[in-house]
Structure 1
């Protein structure tokens, strides 16, 4: 584990070497956030669904070798979700997680409402979630975050990391899925 905090936002792109470096940096930031007394907010930008899915699976596999304080939870937002604080709280109330990954912000029917609520509750996020919270956005979603929740965004320290690909990926970055759950990486295909 690194002795200094890594950057806190991540990008995945056309360059697979860049993607691997960003993945390593993200895993390191999650490991570094273990045992913190306030939130470790990490922002990831990815515009391509299949690429995001591959990066999440690779991240979960990589995190299996880290000494995390608990399970990694993956929370997939749905169209009607407008209270991220409540969703994260419900997901983590039993035990402190190793991290919470939040996917599907582009599926929320009113992202502005979600972001404004996050901004209003930024101090509650900071105080009540002393673990890595990894939010995945499309470029458009990230622009909305910067516009509607810039105080919340500042918790992350102002840097962001981007995942992008011009080849073989299409559709939304992450489709809306089921309820919050603990994810394990998929087995061999």
Structure 2
């Protein structure tokens, strides 16, 4: 099981969330599943990914979306080619300029995800992207089990709030 030191890597709830994410990836076992990982901090996402790759035996691939990405399905197929990784993490949704169009096209193409991908797909989202998925891609979003939330540790929440105020 994954073990995180609270003082170094976040709160106990983040430890539980990381464990849930690792378990969801492991249980998918060669079949498509949609996993939503919600975290409002890009640095926190990277910390969780570092822990997963360090402690998980799964071959987890990662795609960082470009701001000009127009369809998620095409971005994935272009990046993985004919390979089928054990798991695929998608990051960078918050940076996509035409995010509404990307989400709508994802909902339209949702059946292709299940037909073509035999691995868990982890979408890293923030609260805003999660709301957009609910409104613009409800059928696709419904494929996901409960969203796994990665809360920022209290000291990072304070820093995040101060940065938002000064911006």
TM range (shorter): 0.7 to 0.9
Q: How far apart, CA to CA, are the structure 2 residues paired with 1:34 and 1:90?
A: 23
TM-score under structure 1 length normalisation: 0.74
The answer on 1:59 being equivalent to 2:52 is yes
Query: What's 2:19 paired with?
Result: 24
Q: How far apart are the structure 2 equivalents of 1:108 and 1:23?
A: 25
Q: Give per-residue Cα distances to partners, 1:71-116, cap 9 Å, x unaligned.
A: 3211001110011101111222232101110001100001101000
Instruction: Judging by fraction of residues, say which structure has more helix.
Output: 2
Give yes or no for contact 1:40–1:133 (8 Å, CA) kept in 2: yes
Unaligned runs of 5+ in 2: 2-9
Distance (Å, rounded) in 2 between the aligned partners of 1:103 and 1:73:
11
* Distance in 2 separating the partners of 1:87 and 1:142: 19
Give how far 1:34 is off: 1.7
Q: Could you list the runs of 5+ residues in structure 1 that have no partner in the other structure?
A: 2-14, 173-189
CA separation in 1, counterparts of 2:30 and 2:44?
Answer: 30
Alignment of 1:128-139 (within 5 A): 128-139=116-127
Q: What secondary structure does 1:113 align onto?
A: helix
Indicate the RMSD between aligned Cα atoms, in angstroms.
2.1
Q: Which runs of 4+ in 1 moved over 3 A?
A: 169-172
CA distance in 2, matches of 1:115, 1:164: 24
Whole-Å Cα distance in 2 between the matches of residues 35 and 74 of structure 1? Answer: 17
Mapped partners of 1:23, 1:30: distance in 2 = 11
Instruction: Give 2:97's aligned residue.
Output: 109
Matched residue count? 152
Matched, 1:45 2:38: yes
Task: Give the TM-score normalised by structure 2.
Answer: 0.84
Counterparts of 1:6-25 in structure 2 under 5 Å? 16-25=11-20
Report the equivalent of 1:161: 148
Q: Distance in 1 between matches of 2:64 and 2:37?
A: 15
Q: Which has the larger radius of gyration?
A: 2
Do the aligned partners of 2:20 and 2:148 also contact (CA within 8 Å) in 1? no
| Whole-angstrom distance in 2 between the partners of 1:117 and 1:62 | 34
1:142 and 2:130 are equivalent in the alignment: yes
Q: Give, in angstroms, the shift of residue 164 of structure 1.
A: 2.0
Q: How many angstroms does 1:23 deviate by?
A: 0.5
* Contact kept in structure 1, 2:35 and 2:122, CA below 8 Å: yes
